[in-house]
Structure 1
């Protein structure tokens, strides 16, 4: 029985490890990072639209925890920091993919379409039967539209005195989920992987998501 239990535990661990998905992104890095940056104190720089924005505050918290691991220290109000850190983010509709799907359609007399799991399906015609008005058989198929979204994140770190841009890191990832907040932790990890990274490089980065 003990051997069976051990084999079961090993099998479960293999299955769980196989369930881990990978977050893929493209990361561009440009920097003039000093070889010995002893003072990594910083403050967050915000645009007027980012002040008192709950979403932006959440992303600052994510970035704050990662900067702390890298030896950065956020200073309190009134102190003089060596650097300022800012972030920008956004999502754009990249493309719509088309693919035919053959299955019984549900007719909506008002919109002539129906919605399911984020896919818009439009009635085209043939060859699946349904019973329409007057009891006559009708035939049609569906045509799906699946949206693809490009999520983008930019992190910049500037020296305050003298004024100088130290690092500019950009991350982009294409996903079918329009919510950038879902992927922001992985975008942060991708941006700061091997910080400061190779200057002038653009690389494909893969991060394992949750276990």
Structure 2
């Protein structure tokens, strides 16, 4: 049947499109907001220690995320040191929020009557064609609800001697991934991209997803690898 040939052709086109899209690079998009009073200084002065509140002292989760942040700080010549010898103190804060989003999408159905009938005017008097006015498919809209997860990482750098805050940056990303562990390397990389940013800067950073696994490298206890090379970052001011 003519319709069967059309259906097969459409299926082949969709398969080709899916293959093409699978080869495209996907990105994690993060909004970054920075407040800065960074005065520079030599690389030798960029020594730091992580600062924890009492509830964080024995947290494996905190130590894991600190290592992710430490990896990114190292790309900007920061070196960890003992608390007594550190020039800066670095504190991190993080969290995940879940919301429900609603979307409406067109709903299509297959017309089982391929023709040669003409609808719209009786007996084919100037009708719209063998499938009616809407082609072989038609329908309304379907409303769907789905969860959206917002992951946030805050990094605060203070001068240890004076207690003065010198840098405060927040990175926030939203999507269908519920795991903060998955998102953390992208958040840390985005938060510290092009350090130091100016005071009051708000921008969007896009990082490519690992095409091998669709996820960043595994975050092990005490050892974390960055999500993607720094050169892979795209920034929209």
Summarize the alignment of residues 54-93 of structure 1 with structure 2, pairs less than 5 Å apart: 54-76=60-82, 79-93=84-98
- Provide TM-score, normalisation by structure 2: 0.60
Alignment length, in residue pairs? Answer: 158
Higher alpha-carbon Rg: 2
Matched, 1:25 2:16: no
Equivalent of 1:53, from 37, 43, 59? 59
The aligned residue for residue 187 of structure 1 is 187
Question: CA offset at residue 19 of structure 1?
Answer: 3.9
1:70, distance to aligned residue in structure 2 (A)? 1.1
Residue 44 (str. 1) matches residue 42 (str. 2): no
TM-score relative to the length of structure 1: 0.67
Consecutive unaligned residues in structure 2, runs of 5 or more: 1-19, 108-141, 212-237
Contact kept, 8 Å, 2:100 with 2:145, in 1: the verdict is no
Task: Please provide the CA RMSD for this pair.
Answer: 2.5
Secondary structure at the counterpart of residue 40 of structure 2: coil
**Aligned position for 1:205:** 205
- How far apart are 1:177 and its partner, in Å? 1.7
Give how far 1:99 is off. Answer: 4.8
C-alpha contact 1:101 1:144 (8 A) present in aligned 2: no
- Secondary structure, counterpart of 2:162 in structure 1: coil
Following superposition, the deviation at residue 144 of structure 1 comes to: 4.0
Structure 1: 5+ residue stretches without partners: 1-14, 103-141
Deviation at 1:35, TM superposition (A): 3.0
Deviations 1:162-181 (A, max 9, x none): 22101000011111122111
Taking CA–CA contacts closer than 8 Å with sequence separation of 6 or more, which of the two structures ends up with the larger relative contact order? Answer: 1
Where do 1:152-163 residues align within 5 Å? 152-163=152-163
CA distance in 2, matches of 1:99, 1:185: 32
